[in-house]
Structure 1
Amino acid sequence: MMSPESQSPAPQPSEPESEDRVYRSVPAIAGGALLLAIAGWLGIDAVVSGEGRTPWMALAVLILVVPLVVAFTLRPAVYVGDDRLRIRNPFRVIVVPWGQVASLKSSYSNEVLTESGAKYQLWAVPVSLRARKKAARREMRATAQARREMGRDEGRGSALGMRAGLGSGPGQGLGGGPVSDGPARAETDRIMDELRGLHEARRRAETAQGEVTVRWAYEVMGPAVAGALLVLILAVVG
């Protein structure tokens, strides 16, 4: 009598990977869209109504300017995943596994430092000194308001305690003032805090190891170089 063939269990579907969070600079995108609109309006008008060499020069300038505007305004982005950080800068795309991140630094720019000593700037998460000063002023006002509220509560608690023959310590039967939600932070500083927290949580994970890869953005550099050469040739031939 033959034994029935053993059947291997059906493979279980792998757990879907979480989608990357994407960080971009909204002011940069708005500024880039405005610059592209102006350049398109002026350039197309020169191409259509210009005379002699003007249409060709306008076309060459457009080929040069448009990729550069896109590279520095619309293109930068930071993709944050559970296993790696992908940085899309104007002319490069850098993929850094969390295990290769040494630190995330914020000073006059936000940067990623790798274990090998390399440094990569986060173009999509720019530092705003104005936003930092605004957050610092907001924090100072909140602290001063909390102290005033605490002083009033302590005064009321002392008066009630004397009338009722109770201790005059703060917080006995009264609220101790507004609860703080934490220090006020600029938006980009909060983003860097989130990245530091994710790095600390994931840097030892097995799937977060690997090598840093850097790819040049030839799709941006090629048209810009071609436009620069056309402008140079037209200027020389002129």
Structure 2
Amino acid sequence: MSTPQSSAPEPRTHRSTASVVTGALLLALGAWFGVDAIWRGSGRTPWVALAALVTLVPLVVAYTLRPAVVSDEDRLTVRNPFRTVTLPWAAVAELRSGFTNEVRSDGRTYQLWALPVSLRARKKAARAQMRDAVADPHGATPTTVSQPVRSDSDQAVEDLREIAERRAAAPTAQGPAVVRWAYEIIAPTAVGAIALVVLVATG
């Protein structure tokens, strides 16, 4: 007797590789110049450098390293620069791809920062689709012989859409959307910005 397979998807995390690499490089450069200014600077320079680091490092992390889209059998978690949105699959009204990738819930729209839209990637996918097409027996409209070719981000959204449709009725995937602000990013950025303004204004 065979064991029935569960339709629950495996947990998966989507990130933008380009953003992660860019963020790591920016943090490395910031640490290099910032620590050098703090160590070698004189007068107010070390304090200005420190305030700048406290302001900019959280922003770099927020826009490059933090964004992620995590899906599991019960929910979709969207981690954007300044907030985290947790959406049980039943609360997902729509996942769509346009100039940005978005999810709609309860009349509100949340952008998927971790899945940026690349028009170049879409054009590349369209060219690949055309190469995979063959003419019909009468030489008229091309007929696709393989699965549609999509860009990576569009394919990720399509996968999430399929999971949402399949899991929306699951008892463990019910509930409202929950939004949590990323105070671990907002607080140090605000403190650093205030300190930087005070130092510059009183310099």
Percent of residue pairs identical: 50
* Unpaired runs of at least 5, structure 1: 1-14, 155-178
Counterpart-to-counterpart distance in 1, 2:159 and 2:9: 16
Q: Report if aligned partners of 2:76, 2:88 keep a CA contact under 8 Å in 1.
A: yes
* Partner residue, 1:63: 54
- Which of 2, 17, 40 is the matching residue for 2:31? 40
Counterpart-to-counterpart distance in 1, 2:85 and 2:78: 5
Q: Secondary structure at the match of 2:150?
A: coil
Deviation at 1:18, TM superposition (A): 6.8
Which letter maps to 1:226? V
Deviation at 1:181, TM superposition (A): 2.9
Counterpart-to-counterpart distance in 2, 1:41 and 1:129: 34
Which letter maps to 2:158? D
- Which of 109, 120, 130 is the matching residue for 1:119? 109
Instruction: Provide the aligned C-alpha RMSD in A.
Output: 1.9
State how many pairs are aligned: 192
Counterpart-to-counterpart distance in 1, 2:194 and 2:95: 38
Counterpart-to-counterpart distance in 2, 1:109 and 1:75: 18
Which TM-score applies when normalising by structure 1?
A: 0.76
Which letter maps to 2:124? K
* Unpaired runs of at least 5, structure 2: 1-5, 139-143
Structure 1 position 230 matched with structure 2 position 201: no
- Which of 54, 67, 70 is the matching residue for 1:76? 67
Structure 1 position 216 matched with structure 2 position 173: no
Which letter maps to 1:23? H
Which letter maps to 1:231? L
1:86-120 C-alpha deviation (Å, 9 max, x unpaired): 11111111111111111101101111101x20111
> Structure 1 residues 40 and 19, CA, compared in 2 at 3 Å: closer, same or farther?
same
* Partner residue, 2:162: 197
Q: Secondary structure at the match of 1:219?
A: helix
Counterpart-to-counterpart distance in 1, 2:111 and 2:151: 18
Deviation at 1:49, TM superposition (A): 1.3
Higher strand share: 2
Structure 1 consecutive aligned stretches of length 4 or more whose deviation exceeds 6 Å: none
Q: Report if aligned partners of 2:101, 2:116 keep a CA contact under 8 Å in 1.
A: yes
Counterpart-to-counterpart distance in 1, 2:160 and 2:52: 39
Deviation at 1:216, TM superposition (A): 0.7
Q: Secondary structure at the match of 1:111?
A: strand
Which TM-score applies when normalising by structure 2?
A: 0.89
User: Bigger radius of gyration, 1 or 2?
Assistant: 1
- Which of 94, 106, 121 is the matching residue for 1:131? 121
